[in-house]
Amino acid sequence: MADEEHDQNMINDDDGEVVLNNSDPDYEQPSYLSRLLLQPEEARLWDLILLLFSSDVESRDFIDCSGGRRPQGADFHPRWLIFISVTAQKLFRRSRQPMERIGRGLELWLNLLSNNGGLLKLLLKLLNGKVVWPERSSAEFTSLIGNLDRRVEMDKNVRPGHRRYKAVLSLMAAKLSYENEAFVKSVVQDRWKMEFIGFYNFWNEYQGEASTQAIMLKDTTSAPNLTIIAFRGTSPFDAAAWCTDVDLSWYQIQGVGKLHAGFMKALGLQKTGWPIELVSPPQDNGNHPPSAYYSLRAMLKEEMKKDAGSKFVLTGHSLGGALAILFVGVLALHGEAELLERLEGVYTFGQPRVGDEEFGGYMEGKLKEYEIKYLRFVYGNDVVPRLPYDDRTLFYKHFGPTLFYNSCYKVKVMAEEPNKNYFSPLWVVPKVLNAVWELMRSFMFPYIRGRELRETWLMRVFRVLGLMMPGLANHCPQDYDNCTRLGSWPSSLHPPDAHNPEEKLIHHQD
């Protein structure tokens, strides 16, 4: 059920829709808000069983559907999806500590191997007592994602001013966001020769923990200076991030559209909605970190004020990409014209869908109005950009141009990636054959394209797993890095016409 604080900050209009009750007289209300919020902490096993056999969705305590509109619950399929979402969230919540222990143990083992020169040398050092033990907070400690692809150097062939430069820099920053603060600072300052601004853990009001991470840096070699914000994606053993991903809750704002509530919560959605400014409740004594959106917005304003001609870029891989583009959406919702005018572009890699078709139209209008470049990179059979589903039950749709790269790193600018919902039976054989080629390619590329393209043994393990689940290996940053380094570049980035079904392939550059 919605808590009392939520109800006190929202009022119902005559039609039963919910209106944001913002106390700021200068704030233009974003019209009406309705919602479908899933609250797994309130769901018992019996509640979930009843959900499958009863269409009375509104009577379930763990489903908050304010706004005077009944959710699509009469059919079994929507109820089944709610069941899956809530059950998955409950499982991830209960598995949090085991997942964390497994992840930490695996990362420790991987760093033991790398710090001691491999398995054979590690065994020898164990015998003579000279093992180099990794320190988790050190600049040498690498995450699981970092062990999949150890490249941290910028592409030396792509300099500031090159048409690929911002995409390359964005991808590298998105990869770097998975690492610890000392590692990030070392790479940014010592290898990239850029200014390290900060590493942040942001508060998720709904999860009650600091589960959203981002890094901020400044490239002073660009003209103008460029500030980069990179949101961290979903780490494999981060239960809180997985809860965000599988949460099928949504908010609907009139004139804006429906948005994925799980991603919005991670960005900083309050239980009072999206007030233009935060007013801390009396019981909050500053005992937790700030929320992502409000904190980053304030820091960006300060950075833009200090450097009048500078611009900024938003980026992220996976969940991080979703947060990057939604950050723009909330800036537009709040009428932050000055910041939007300084936004150079949004570059996302393996980004999931974040809203419905109406939201896509709203965002395309804002991107055009403020001349913001939005490039969404999709590699091969990556499953994440094809989720949540785009069907009659789940309304999610991508917007803007899709830079789709195949397994030869050839690009097509498309309205939508092929096999948009991933699980089509017609694509099973092509996906497996492609996974076989990618495994072969991992051994061939060092001899064909250079030793710097040699994949780690861990990445090759993921390639083998990809024979059973091709979308798994394709989501790793390794291939997205190769796309920006080796891939072709489109001759034009003009967004396709999403309303023209004939216009699927827009531009192709060999």
Report, as residue numbers or ranges, the catalytic residues. Answer: 318, 382, 475
Task: State in Å, rounded, how far the first CA of the chain is from the last one.
Answer: 55
The H or E element containing residue 508 is strand 505-509
Burial (Cβ within 10 Å: 0-12, 13-18, ≥19) of residue 254: middle
The whole-angstrom separation of Cα 398 and Cα 388 is 10
The whole-angstrom separation of Cα 382 and Cα 456 is 20
State the amino acid at position 9 in one-letter form. N
The H or E element containing residue 26 is none
> Could you tell me if 479 and 377 are in contact, meaning their C-beta atoms sit under 8 angstroms apart?
no
The whole-angstrom separation of Cα 172 and Cα 176 is 6
Chain position carrying tokens 């590493």: 199
Q: Tell me how crowded residue 123 is: count the other CB atoms within 10 A of its CB.
A: 11
The whole-angstrom separation of Cα 19 and Cα 17 is 7
Query: Which residue from 400, 370, 364, 365 is spatially nearest to 385, judged by alpha carbons?
Result: 400
> Sign of dihedral through CA atoms 66, 71, 76, 78?
negative
Query: Which residue from 342, 139, 116, 107 is spatially nearest to 235, judged by alpha carbons?
Result: 107
> Could you tell me if 310 and 303 are in contact, meaning their C-beta atoms sit under 8 angstroms apart?
yes
> Could you tell me if 315 and 230 are in contact, meaning their C-beta atoms sit under 8 angstroms apart?
yes
Strands (E), 380-481: 402-405, 411-414
